[in-house]
Structure 1
Amino acid sequence: MNMLEKLMGALGWIIPVVVLASLVLPSMIRVLREYERGVIFRLGKLLGAKGPGLIFLIPVVDRMVKVDLRVVTIDVPRQEVMTRDNVPVTVDAVVYFRVVDPNAAVVKVEHYLRATALMAQTTLRSVLGQAELDELLAHREKINQTLQEILDRQTDAWGIKVTSVEVRDVVLPDGMKRAMAKQAETERERRAKIINAEGEFQAAEKLVQAAAMISKEPVALQLRFLQTMREISSEHNTTTFLPLPIDLFSAFIKKMEEPPRREG
């Protein structure tokens, strides 16, 4: 009976200890992954960021806020923007950032994710409102760089590092699309006319050079005439050309050019 009583007495205090440990230990021991940090507050006072690995906390006294250090992606919803040259466009963007100072991200701003997203929206509208449409379409890399620098400077106090900002899509009104298509078509027609005129000018230059060469060597004209006949005969035509020397008609031409004689 004595052994049984001793055993029951031991179980009487072991069971409460086990129950208490099962309740207290989960709040005392935390395991943080490699990309996580825990910002510790003791009685409301900031102790600092700890981790990764095993973290011990004092129950009731300590409180931990977990912060993810991986790159976070935020989709900036579509924004109606009026460009500097008064063209309404709809744009959206994506922002990449990460936490570099867990203490500042927890202490200096409430909900740093939401704060960064709202800051990205206002910055997008402000920067694109100062750019012209042609610059927005042709120099998007420059605009992305400007957005990244401004956002990074504004969120630096929160312990946030903005690594990249990309303007994904620019939607133009239908009327502007038709006007740009007409402008592009007109530009293509202008270039075609210029190229055609340059081709005719170059061809005329070559013809002038050829005429100068033939005037120095008249026999070249006869050779060119024979070459043309050879090309025509290779096409199996039924038409036959008989070349006649132009000198045969020179006497008749001179006679026609002489004034008529008057009879006595």
Structure 2
Amino acid sequence: MDKLPKIALPALATVIFLIIIISKSAVTIGSGEAGVLYKTFGGGVVTDAPPLGEGFHLVAPWNRVYIYEVRQQEKTEKMNVLSSNGLDIKLEASVWFQPKYDELGKLHQEKSEQYIDRVLLPAIRSAARSVVGRYTPEQLYSSKRDAIQQEIFEETQKIVEDQYIQLNEVLVRDVTLPPTIKDAIERKLKQEQESLEYEFRLVTAEKEAEKVRIEAQGKADANRILSASLTDKILQDKGIDATIKLSESPNTKVIVVGSGDDGLPLILGNN
């Protein structure tokens, strides 16, 4: 009984030591994450091997693991930029991105966990200022939104492509102009729209008038052709046909007396 405590204490100490070692050595990496291993006595950040993937890992207790999210992320940035004529424009843009998985070690070594603030956001600010500076407020407000968005993406891509960041998309969410400029642009657009509507009405009226002229000309041509074709002989033949049909009717009494100036019989009775 006197020897039991002497054996139990070292065993308990060993168990506690093992628990501490395991707790410091165990690393669990969650879904959509990856780990960068830092070897304290082995050259620092591991850049020549893939990062640690999802799941449970055991590492030496004197080493460290830095965990990064490697799924697509979104960052929204609001900034003030200048248009081509020097007006202050407020721009809100969202960037979709993720770190390049196979180069995560280099990203950590050169940019650290602060790579979003140190690299990505300055890049999109620089690209936005460069692109917006090529356009007028009117273009920013109306017709060039998609083009500006694409150009900001391309400019940002040039900056971050060798910074171990994968750029997926840039979305321009809002462009805010000074109120006086916005009102002036809206008035101009309204006037242009009214002018287009007026021109459309003029074109429509002109087409309708042309249609009426064509129809009238067609009727005049038809009457002229008909008049030219109605000779005395044709009129006389038609008169004879009409007289014959009238005489054949059982409800009509016809008295023929001589002939008219055109040689047709005169019809005196119709009971």
Verify the 8 A CA contact 1:72 1:96 in the aligned structure 2. Answer: yes
Say which one has the larger Rg: 2
Q: Name 1:98's counterpart in structure 2.
A: 98
Give the fraction of aligned pairs with identical amino acids, expressed as a percent: 20
TM-score by length of 1: 0.72
Shift in Å at residue 162 of structure 1? 0.9
Q: Name 1:117's counterpart in structure 2.
A: 121
CA distance, structure 2, for counterparts of residue 36 and residue 207 of structure 1: 75
Spell out, residue by residue over 1:156-175, the C-alpha distance to the aligned partner (whole angstroms, 9 max, x if none).
33311011111100112221
CA distance, structure 2, for counterparts of residue 164 and residue 176 of structure 1: 29
Spell out, residue by residue over 1:61-106, the C-alpha distance to the aligned partner (whole angstroms, 9 max, x if none).
x1221111111211102x2222114443211101111011211220
Q: Name 2:81's counterpart in structure 1.
A: 81
Q: Name whichever of 34-43 and 203-212 sits farther off.
A: 203-212
**Structure 2 segments unaligned to the other structure (5+ residues):** 225-271
Verify the 8 A CA contact 2:153 2:170 in the aligned structure 1. Answer: yes
1:1-264 correspondence to structure 2 within 5 Å: 4-43=1-40, 45-48=44-47, 49-60=51-62, 62-77=63-78, 79-100=79-100, 101-110=103-112, 111-115=114-118, 116-136=120-140, 137-216=142-221, 217=223
* Number of equivalences: 214
**Structure 1 segments unaligned to the other structure (5+ residues):** 219-264
Shift in Å at residue 183 of structure 1? 1.3
Structure 2 residue identity aligned to 1:119: A
Verify the 8 A CA contact 2:46 2:105 in the aligned structure 1. Answer: no
- Which structure has greater helix proportion? 1
Verify the 8 A CA contact 1:33 1:52 in the aligned structure 2. Answer: yes
CA RMSD of aligned residues (A): 2.3
